[in-house]
Structure 1
């Protein structure tokens, strides 16, 4: 197996192993994805890679061509299948290297890592990613263009205008301007529209960026 598929498989299986430890209350916990629960996010990860293009368009049309609304509606419907079915499908995706239709393979790695943060952060169970995985996910997140940025609230480059964001513990930084330091987990949340609190940021640009992220 080549490098990228192996990294995707490793991240996916790490999340599957974690999900298998959760109880009903944890599955019902609000995730970082707006009104989605942990179960909703896991269901989205489980079945989006299995979605055929012919199944995708009707849902988008029904949602008034609002992609995020269409994703939310399908995720909540899939979540009704229950944790056991969700975990089984996630494990199958990891073994077969399934990915959503019409997206580059790297997007599957980004989904695996960022949605794992969406799930783990509210449950206070962080899992640091390797420097190799972090760099790939962070670089893709910064460089992504429309329509890949629709689901994360727009361009990360615009979000970081006038700021140099530095990931503590990683050899990674982006931007020019007032410096802001944050953990790797926090950096990936910022790049993917999940926000961050002022307490999670340090540096002379921390207050400015926090105000931008939390208007």
Structure 2
């Protein structure tokens, strides 16, 4: 995907998530997400960072945290929480159309919208039909890198077969499933591994532990 198309896709995912989260009550916002130790509200605040913090501000935060990246992530998340869940949603909504971002490839930002979007949606019982172009781009990106999240290493020696697109990536024991299930499995979300099949499925599930 070209740069402009990636930005449009990022905006599409941000808008779609806002629309699905607007009706939630305070109790639902406190629902544990698929990210261990983080609520739905906290994950959304984390997602806001990628549309609100520029590369210089990000590097400054790293220095302030003395290269403790977990501390940096936590501090940035808290900046975007706001006083309540309504503020959290307003802050996230403000990233729609933003071209500000930390020093990450645009496709990595799109991947964050899909993966963290599912970290939020799955526990809430929400479903999204993601555009095919976005799924293919994110699946291919994560299969080739460990830059943002361990994914390439997790699928080493496996062949991913997307049953909804015919896209095949890698060599080895087959892991079959929808593009979304493959993306979530290769990024460590064990909850999606039950949707995968093939001789390599159990191997990937073990690597998500």
Aligned to 2:111: 110
Aligned to 2:85: 83
How far 1:53 moved relative to its partner? 4.2
Paired residues of 1:186 and 1:196 also in contact (CA < 8 A): no
Paired residues of 1:12 and 1:91 also in contact (CA < 8 A): yes
Secondary structure of the corresponding residue to residue 166 of structure 1: strand
Aligned to 1:139: 140
How far 1:208 moved relative to its partner? 2.5
Aligned to 1:168: 163
Paired residues of 2:54 and 2:100 also in contact (CA < 8 A): no
- Among 27, 30, 45, the alignment partner of 2:29 is 27
- How well do the aligned residues superpose, as a CA RMSD in angstroms? 2.3
In 1, distance between residues paired with 2:70 and 2:20? 26
Paired residues of 1:128 and 1:185 also in contact (CA < 8 A): no
How far 1:118 moved relative to its partner? 1.0
Paired residues of 1:162 and 1:176 also in contact (CA < 8 A): yes
In structure 2, list runs of 5 or more residues that go unmatched.
Answer: none
In 2, distance between residues paired with 1:168 and 1:27? 33
Paired residues of 2:33 and 2:40 also in contact (CA < 8 A): yes
How far 1:192 moved relative to its partner? 2.2
In 1, distance between residues paired with 2:12 and 2:129? 13
In 1, distance between residues paired with 2:125 and 2:198? 25
The alpha-carbon distance between structure 1 residues 196 and 179, as it changes in their structure 2 partners (threshold 3 A), is: farther
Q: C-alpha offsets along residues 140-185 of structure 1, whole Å, 9 cap, x if unaligned? A: 212234xx33xx2x2x222112211222212322221111112332
In 1, distance between residues paired with 2:99 and 2:88? 15
The alpha-carbon distance between structure 1 residues 82 and 192, as it changes in their structure 2 partners (threshold 3 A), is: same
TM-score (norm 1): 0.84
TM-score (norm 2): 0.86
The yes-or-no answer on 1:200 pairing with 2:201 is no
